[in-house]
A = this chain, B = another copy of it.
Amino acid sequence: MDKITDRRVRKTKAALRGALVKLMEKKSIQEISVKELCEKCDINRSTFYLHYTDVYNLLQMIEKEMLLELNAVLEDFELPKNKPQASPSPIMCKIFKFLASNADMCRVLLCNNGDMAFVEEVKGIVRIKFMSEWQSRINSSANEQTEYVYTFIISGCIGILQEWLRRGMPKSADEMAQIVEKILVSGVASLSF
């Protein structure tokens, strides 16, 4: 993420970002015009074009930042290779907490009228991080079907995570991580073909 020195730029981008989230809660991205977006947050339309080419470009920038942030949150976490695995999964906990701290934007991007490409990128990140944590627990003889099993598990986790956001996060991040944990240990443990 580029370090922005000028306070004016920070304010402008934050205003546009906030307005976009509010608009996306009510309508899909296609229906949002640059004009409407700028009026919403009282930013001159010319100023918008100073930073972004169009509404989708703005969304892409936001998504890119989110992905970098998510990666950063999971990056600094080093696997305790010799320690016994913690329960619930620390990575799952971190993911849920990250979502909670960016709830509005995440709900908009991951649920209802969200961006499918973005969901796929999140799946990719979760897949890598999560599988590296779990590979010691999973007795996988890497056959043809293993990939589909991974896909199943990751998609299932993302689905739960979407449902949680959609319902307004009624449970805590830790509770959610435990629910996922429960499903995995009692379900996936026997998934070794």
Residues of A within 8 A of B (CB): 29-30, 56, 111-117, 119-120, 123, 145, 147-149, 151-160, 162-163, 179-180, 182-183, 186-188, 190-191, 193
Which chain B residues lie closer than 8 Å to A188 at the CB level? 187
Chain B residues near A30 (CB-CB < 8 A): 29-30, 56
CB nearest neighbor in B for A30:
B30
Residues of B within 8 A of A155 (CB): 155-156, 158-160, 162
CA distance A56 to B179 in the complex (A): 38
List, in ascending order, chain B residues with CB within 8 A of A151's CB: 156, 159-160, 163
| Among candidates B120, B154, B190, residue contacting A190 with C-beta atoms closer than 8 Å | B190
Q: How far is the CA of A183 from the CA of B156 in the complex (A)?
A: 12
Residue of B with least CB distance to A54: B30
Give chain B nearest CB distance to A60 CB in angstroms: 11
Q: Given the known A-B contacts A152-B160, A156-B155, are A116 and B119 also in contact in the complex, defined by CB atoms under 8 Å?
A: yes
* CB pair B191 A186 closer than 8 Å: yes
With both chains docked as a complex, state the minimum distance between the C-beta of A134 and any C-beta of chain B, in angstroms: 14
